[in-house]
Amino acid sequence: IPQDSVKSIGESIGILQLPDHAMKYLSEETSFRVKEIVQEAMKYCSHRKSNKLKCQDIDNSFKAKNLEPLYGFISEEFIPFRFASGGGRELHFIEDKELDLNEIINGSLPKIPHDVAMKAHWLAIEGVQPSVPENPVPETHFSIEVLKKGDLKEGRKGVPPMKSCHKPENSSLVALKSRFTHELSVEQQLYYKEITEAAVGSSEARRAEALQSLATDPGLSQMLPRFSTFVSEGVRVNVVQNNLALLIYLMRMVKALMDNPTLNLEKYLHEMIPAVMTCIVSRQLCTRPDVDNHWALRDYAARLMAQICRSFSTSTNLIQSRITGTFCKCLHDDKSSLAARYGSVAGLAELGTDVVQNLALPRLQVEGGRIKNILESPLLNPIDRTAAEHLRGLLVKHCGPVIKTIRQPPDHPEEYLKDYGSLGPLICQHIIKLR
């Protein structure tokens, strides 16, 4: 607990002039006590056989220390910390909205939560895990190495017949499953067919339904590998054919899968990321680049990529740094097309202001020069012109807010021209508008 916090807490209860040494003592003492309480609470947490510390554990530890528990705090599974910065200070806080009591009283009652239920299923039958929805997907388990094949004598009835209530519902399915192939049930196959047809079909209403189903239905994890392959193959084929509409549909599918809280895409990122990446930086995505709005696809895919980075990037897989590396390489390559550059900038911009500041700003001068050259060249074709204009607009749009935070007013177009090259004056205008 830093001294600043002690100070502001003191101020909030009317103690204005705390001497420094008192503050230091208080901050040390409170830190120590808080640590002590949390340590005690950890004990309760592990006895609950859980690894998530909850408010109740803290309450219990208060109780054990003979302190009054704090009433009225309940922990939620998901605590959205908001981030705010300003005046050189950073702050994380929980948004605590004011609730209108009337609304709550007059509103309909929330649904009663389901009662605790107990369900039986086979985790293993003679050492083999049947692939039922209750068991993890076969890719993730590795019991195969441990088991010795020869031990499974055919026709041997080792398990005593179970009472009827122990039997899982789809026992016929269980018996047919081999350990390696992972087949879908007939219903699942039908579902897969319907969904994929609707997702890339011509009816927008059906597509919306299919995407809704992908984004919300639990229990799709069995089919996830198929969907992942569908997307990656689809992108591969349609990029070659420059079929913009289909690419957009596929990206929307990825988005829906990402949004499904019951699915974990981590195991399929090796297929997803290249597909999404292609839609961001590919040289050509549509048949008529001068008219078709492939920029929207690039923007959408870039947002998707940023979402992937946020969800799955860890210090071990380094997804984010590998992605930024790819974008930068494309940006630094003189031969890459304007459309690819547009995609790279869009991709970088979605990864946050830090990335923009460190990787895009230094390129501003070079890119500005290039755009200027293209626009002023005598042999200007309409494709290049729209591309250059889009790229210019994008750079101004994303670099503007970043430059705004690092530069103090007044803003002189000349200074901007000096610092940021030919795009300087445009950015300057943008910033003046922003301020």
Partner 1 sequence: EVSSLLSAYSTEADPSSYDDNYRILQQFIEMSMDGNKCELSLLLYPVFLHMYLELVYNNHQTKAKAFFAKFRGEMEHYHDADLHQLSNITTKSHMEGNNFIYNLKSNKFVVRISRESNHLIKKFLEDKNVPIIRNILNVQVTIDEFEGLPRTKNQIWASAGGLCGEAKQEENKAKVRTSKFFITTLATVGEIFPSFHIQVYYGLLKEPDIDIPLEDEEDTLEDQTEGGGSSKSKRRKKKEFLSKKNKSDPNAPSVTRIPLPELKDADKVEKIAAAKESLKRIRLAGTDRVSPSVCCYTFTNAFGGVTAVDICDDSTLLAAGFQDSHIRVWSLTPRTLRSVKSASELGLLDKEGDDIFDRMMDDCTGTESKSLYGHSGTVYSLSFSPCRSLLVSASEDGSVRLWSLLTWTNLTVYKGHVWSVWGVKFSPHGHYFASCGGDRVARVWVTDHHQPLRVFAGHLSDVDCVAYHHNSNYVATGSSDRSVRVWDVLNGNCVRTYTGHKKPVMCLAWSPDGRYLASSGEDSMVLVWDISTKVLIAQFKGHTAMVNVLAFSRDGEVLASGMSISLYGLLGGMDNSVKIWDFQQMISDIDSDDIGMLRGHATISDKNYLLSDFPTKSTPILHLHFTRRNLLLAVGVFVN
Q: Which residues bind partner 1 (CB under 8 A)?
A: 28, 32, 35-36, 39, 43-44, 46-52, 56, 60, 64, 113-129, 134-136, 140-143, 146-147, 151-152, 156, 158-160, 162-166, 262
Of 31 and 293, which CB lies nearer to partner 1 in the complex structure?
31
Q: What's the number of CA atoms in the CB half-sphere (13 Å) around residue 349? A: 26
* Helix ranges restricted to H, 13-68: 20-47, 55-64
Nearer to partner 1, 92 or 114 (CB): 114
Q: Which is nearer to partner 1, 133 or 382 (CB)?
A: 133
For 305, phi and psi rounded to 5 degrees? -60, -40
The least CB distance from residue 58 to partner 1, in Å, is 13
Query: Which one, 134 or 290, has the nearer CB to partner 1?
Result: 134
Provide, rounded to whole angstroms, the least separation between the CB of residue 99 and partner 1: 23
Q: If you ran DSSP here, which 8-state letter would residue 128 be given?
A: B
- Give SS3 for 220: coil
Q: How many CB atoms within 10 Å of residue 351? A: 21
- Rank residues 78 and 93 by Cβ distance to partner 1 and give the closer one: 78
Of 144 and 237, CB closest to partner 1: 144
Q: How far is the CB of 105 from partner 1 (least distance, A)?
A: 26
Which tokens belong to 295?
């920029």
Distance CA 215, CA 254 (A): 9
CB of 194 to partner 1, least distance (A): 25
Q: How far is the CB of 67 from partner 1 (least distance, A)?
A: 14
CB of 51 to partner 1, least distance (A): 6
Tokens linked to 417: 């021209």
Q: What is the smallest separation between the CB atom of 302 and partner 1, expressed in angstroms?
A: 31
Q: Residue 85 — φ and ψ, nearest 5°?
A: -140, 155
Distance of closest approach, residue 318 Cβ to partner 1, in angstroms:
22
Give the whole-angstrom CA distance, residue 172 versus residue 165: 16
Q: Which is nearer to partner 1, 22 or 361 (CB)?
A: 22
The answer to whether the CB of 246 falls within 8 A of the CB of 279 is no
Smallest distance from partner 1 to CB 127, Å: 3
Q: Rounded CA gap, 308 and 109, in Å?
A: 36
Cα separation, 130 vs 182, in Å, equals: 10
User: Which distant-in-sequence residues (6+ apart) come within 8 Å of 57 by Cβ?
Assistant: 41, 42, 44, 45, 48
Closest CA to 282 of 233, 324, 344: 344
Q: Hey, CA dihedral for 167, 169, 172, 173, is it positive or negative? A: negative
Instruction: State the sign of the Cα–Cα–Cα–Cα dihedral 183, 185, 189, 194.
Output: negative
Nearer to partner 1 (CB atom), residue 47 or residue 283: 47
Measured from the CB atom, is 21 or 114 closer to partner 1? Answer: 114
Number of Cβ within 10 Å of residue 395's Cβ equals 26
